[in-house]
Chains A and B, each alone.
Chain A
Amino acid sequence: MAKAKNKSTPAYDRVRAARGGKRPTGLDYVKGVFSDFFELHGDRAFSDDAAVAGGIAWLYDKPVTVIALEKGHSTKERSKRNFGSPHPEGYRKALRLMKQAEKFHRPVVCFVDTAGAYPGVGAEERGQGAAIAENLLALSGLRTPVLSIFIGEGGSGGALALSVADEVWMLENAVYSVISPEGCASILWKDASKAPEAAAFLRLQAQDALEMGVCDRILPEKGLGSRAFYRDLSRLIYDKLTELSALDAEALVGARYARFRQFGTGA
């Protein structure tokens, strides 16, 4: 029995795949899908969080506000980007860019890949909880289309803060979870090595999220990172943004409210 507990599960295999260091990261998607990305820095209050990269880019003939959680590739870059775990100033930068997008009637596309919001002293001092909460509130009422694409890890509130969206898409191997399987196993069984079992119970795979209505589309990973892969994704995003942009703001925001309102409405 002692050995069996460390055996992986299909769910945990996905978690490993989602965390895998060789996957394209947020900025790879930005560069692959869009053209002429111009990065805009800073939250205008405290600093510039490198775990969150944002700016404006072209998608064919549309200017789009793009926000990506970025983990980085090299050891040096990963450390600079805090392994993709934002501080409050990262969420506030994202919020600033979302509000800017609303003002100029640009759609917003977010690429989500994070183990979660950073649990640190400075993060708490600067109001990590408040920063995430303000993003949830603002996104729910944002009068411009929002599309969120999970490309790897979707770690709890830290991922949700960029995905109160009109649609949420997930890569085939992306995961989305209320708690890390390790954290869950520690709480449940006081044993983080039972994470594979916890992963199975958490229903954190893209297919699970699709069945629950949390995710709207699963993106196959065939040719992941190739030119053809990004081209297909560009077209999918373009069509979706065109469709969402045709709605008036009232209808758009109303549908977004209904999308999240359905979770737990009762028998």
Chain B
Amino acid sequence: MAFVAKNKPNDVPRQVKKPAAATETERVCPRCKSKLDVGKLWENRNVCSCGYHFKLKARDRVALTVDVDSFEPLWEDITSVDVLEFPGYENKLELSRYVAGEADAVVCGRAKISGRPCILFAMDPFFMMGSMGAAVGEKITRAFELATEEGLPVVGFTVSGGARMQEGLISLMQMAKTSAAVQRHSAAGLLYLTVLTNPTTGGVTASFAMLGDVIFAEPGATVGFAGARVIEQTVGKKLPQGFQTAEFLLAHGFADAIVPRDEQRWAIGNMLKLHAVSA
């Protein structure tokens, strides 16, 4: 059974209007409520002066992280297929391809950071909230397999609502598949560095996101396994302030460092250099 397909070119979505976001010139910071000029915000890597980190498209993440002209994308035509004929999924896929401008929710490729080669992946929050179906699982797995084969480190930016329920058990199996690929990469003595960004939850947290040798988190990012609302309903209590944030993760020992966006390039490059010297 084929669970992923090549993306058909000219895949024109039905009944899809151009999203308003594409033409906006001003955004409001959800934290400090300031009105921000989109151009100026981008110059500051989509970080408000109050420190709030706005979401980034996968390609923008890549652009902000890698050495100029060093990125060579891989497996760009892999996209998920609606194998279960799940209600509304086909249309959601088409809308996401249009809005995110990607074939699925992760971008992979070869890259250099501070001159060091690596395999890079960046998930896209605008493609079905970065959820993991067969295509995402396949690309992440291939990234680790290629890196293992070539003896390269993997650097990954996670942002995900978790497993993509529209693909049922096959999406759940991606958690096992990706973790198994991380295991082989790790057993080969190679470095895996993750940067957890807002939000990283569910099946992605419970698989490759939390398996990094080194785990960075973006300030204020929500990172957790269960959704806050589900927890609140289960325990019948208000959740503590700052629950499931990057800072919470650091305090409980599940992240190595909180690294703001403007320091990530340097911090990742530094880690790659530290692991490029064999004793």
| Distance from A184 Cβ to chain B, minimum over Cβ atoms (Å) | 6
Contact A128 B226 (CB under 8 A): yes
Which chain A positions have C-beta within 8 A of B279? none
Contact A164 to B78, CB < 8 A, known contacts A117-B225, A123-B225: no
Option from A132, A183, A188, A263 in Cβ contact (under 8 Å) with B137: A263
Q: Would you call B31 an interface residue if the criterion is a C-beta within 8 Å of the partner chain's C-beta atoms? A: no
Interface bin, chain B = 35 or more
Binds B, one of A13-21, A53-61, A134-142, A238-246: A134-142
Q: Would you call B182 an interface residue if the criterion is a C-beta within 8 Å of the partner chain's C-beta atoms? A: yes
Q: Would you call A1 an interface residue if the criterion is a C-beta within 8 Å of the partner chain's C-beta atoms? A: no
Binds A, one of B32-40, B48-56, B229-237: B229-237
Within 8 A of A (CB), among B175-195: 175-177, 179-180, 182-184, 186-187
Contact A129 to B224, CB < 8 A, known contacts A141-B187, A264-B134, A264-B138: yes
Contact with B along A109-123 (1 / 0, CB 8 A): 000000001111101
CA distance A133 to B206 in the complex (A): 5
Option from B137, B163, B180 in Cβ contact (under 8 Å) with A140: B180
Contact B235 A121 (CB under 8 A): yes
Option from A133, A183, A204 in Cβ contact (under 8 Å) with B209: A133
Within 8 A of A (CB), among B130-189: 133-135, 137-138, 141, 163, 165, 167-177, 179-180, 182-184, 186-187
Q: How many residues of A contact B (CB 8 A)?
A: 52
**B138 nearest CB neighbor, chain A only:** A264
Contact B176 A188 (CB under 8 A): no
Q: Is the interface of B mostly helix, strand, loop or mixed?
A: helix
**A208 nearest CB neighbor, chain B only:** B169
Binds A, one of B2-10, B58-66, B261-269: B2-10
Which chain A positions have C-beta within 8 A of B225? 117, 119, 123-124, 128-129, 132, 157
Contact A188 to B88, CB < 8 A, known contacts A133-B206, A204-B168: yes
Contact B176 A178 (CB under 8 A): no
Q: Would you call B42 an interface residue if the criterion is a C-beta within 8 Å of the partner chain's C-beta atoms? A: no
Q: Would you call B125 an interface residue if the criterion is a C-beta within 8 Å of the partner chain's C-beta atoms? A: no
| Distance from B5 Cβ to chain A, minimum over Cβ atoms (Å) | 6
Contact A264 to B224, CB < 8 A, known contacts A121-B243, A178-B165: no
CA distance A119 to B235 in the complex (A): 8
CA distance A133 to B176 in the complex (A): 9
Which chain A positions have C-beta within 8 A of B88? 188
Contact A160 to B174, CB < 8 A, known contacts A133-B211, A264-B138: no
Q: Would you call A179 an interface residue if the criterion is a C-beta within 8 Å of the partner chain's C-beta atoms? A: yes
Within 8 A of A (CB), among B196-212: 202-203, 205-211
Which chain B positions have C-beta within 8 A of A266? 2-6, 78, 138
Q: Which of A118, A127, A157, A177 has the most CB of B within 10 A?
A: A157
Contact B175 A157 (CB under 8 A): yes
Q: Would you call A228 an interface residue if the criterion is a C-beta within 8 Å of the partner chain's C-beta atoms? A: no
CA distance A138 to B176 in the complex (A): 10
Contact B174 A164 (CB under 8 A): no
Contact A160 B172 (CB under 8 A): yes
CA distance A208 to B3 in the complex (A): 15
Within 8 A of A (CB), among B80-96: 84, 86-88
Which chain A positions have C-beta within 8 A of B227? 119
Which chain A positions have C-beta within 8 A of B240? 121
Option from A124, A141, A156, A213 in Cβ contact (under 8 Å) with B224: A124
Within 8 A of B (CB), among A65-109: none
CA distance A132 to B210 in the complex (A): 9
CA distance A166 to B244 in the complex (A): 34
Contact A178 B172 (CB under 8 A): yes
Q: Would you call B1 an interface residue if the criterion is a C-beta within 8 Å of the partner chain's C-beta atoms? A: yes
Contact A209 to B177, CB < 8 A, known contacts A117-B225, A201-B87, A266-B3: no
CA distance A176 to B172 in the complex (A): 10
Contact B173 A263 (CB under 8 A): yes
Contact with A along B225-257 (1 / 0, CB 8 A): 111001100110101100110001000111000
Which chain A positions have C-beta within 8 A of B171? 178
| Distance from A116 Cβ to chain B, minimum over Cβ atoms (Å) | 9
Which chain A positions have C-beta within 8 A of B84? 201-203
Option from A125, A140, A184 in Cβ contact (under 8 Å) with B183: A140
Which chain A positions have C-beta within 8 A of B244? 124
Q: Would you call A265 an interface residue if the criterion is a C-beta within 8 Å of the partner chain's C-beta atoms? A: yes
Contact B211 A140 (CB under 8 A): no
Contact B2 A257 (CB under 8 A): no
Option from A118, A124, A209, A263 in Cβ contact (under 8 Å) with B243: A124
Which chain A positions have C-beta within 8 A of B168? 177-178, 201-204, 208
| Distance from A6 Cβ to chain B, minimum over Cβ atoms (Å) | 18
Q: List 15 A-B contacts (CB under 8 A).
A: A121-B231, A124-B231, A127-B252, A130-B205, A133-B211, A134-B211, A141-B180, A156-B163, A157-B207, A161-B206, A179-B165, A184-B165, A202-B165, A257-B180, A264-B137
